[in-house]
Amino acid sequence: MENVSNIEKLESLKSFQSTISKTEKAFAQMTEKGANTTLIKKRLNALYIGLALLENVWNQIPHPYTQEELAEARNILTGLFPSIEKIYTKSKVGSPQRTLLKRRIKSLELAIQAIDTLSNE
């Protein structure tokens, strides 16, 4: 896994936590409305796994996930890139939204690297 500064690590962990929080709120709203929550459940689980893997690699915190769960999470996290990158491209240069999206993209890339690293061990 690439060398990551402590600042990037902290920003990536915070980005994941923020994304999880937003996704949990969306899940709660969808559940309340009786909407289909299958996709958002899968995304939320993949985000939990991504965060756990970053914490595992950087802070040696153990994780309970199987290789199959890691592979599924990797696919789901990879699938988030097109929509995030589309919003990033449309966002105004120098805006807070663009900064957050850039951090989100970086944190997802690092989580995927962490999954790849552990999957190859």
Q: What is the pLDDT of residues 18-71, one digit of tens each?
A: 999 999 999 999 999 999 999 999 999 999 999 999 999 999 999 999 999 999
Q: Are 38 and 27 in contact (CB under 8 A)?
A: no
The pTM for the full model equals 0.94
Amino acid identity for residue 87 in this structure = I
Handedness of CA 1, 78, 14, 27 (dihedral sign): negative
pLDDT band (50, 70, 90) for residue 96: very high
Residues 6+ apart with CB under 8 A from 72: 42, 46
Token digits of residue 89: 């491209």
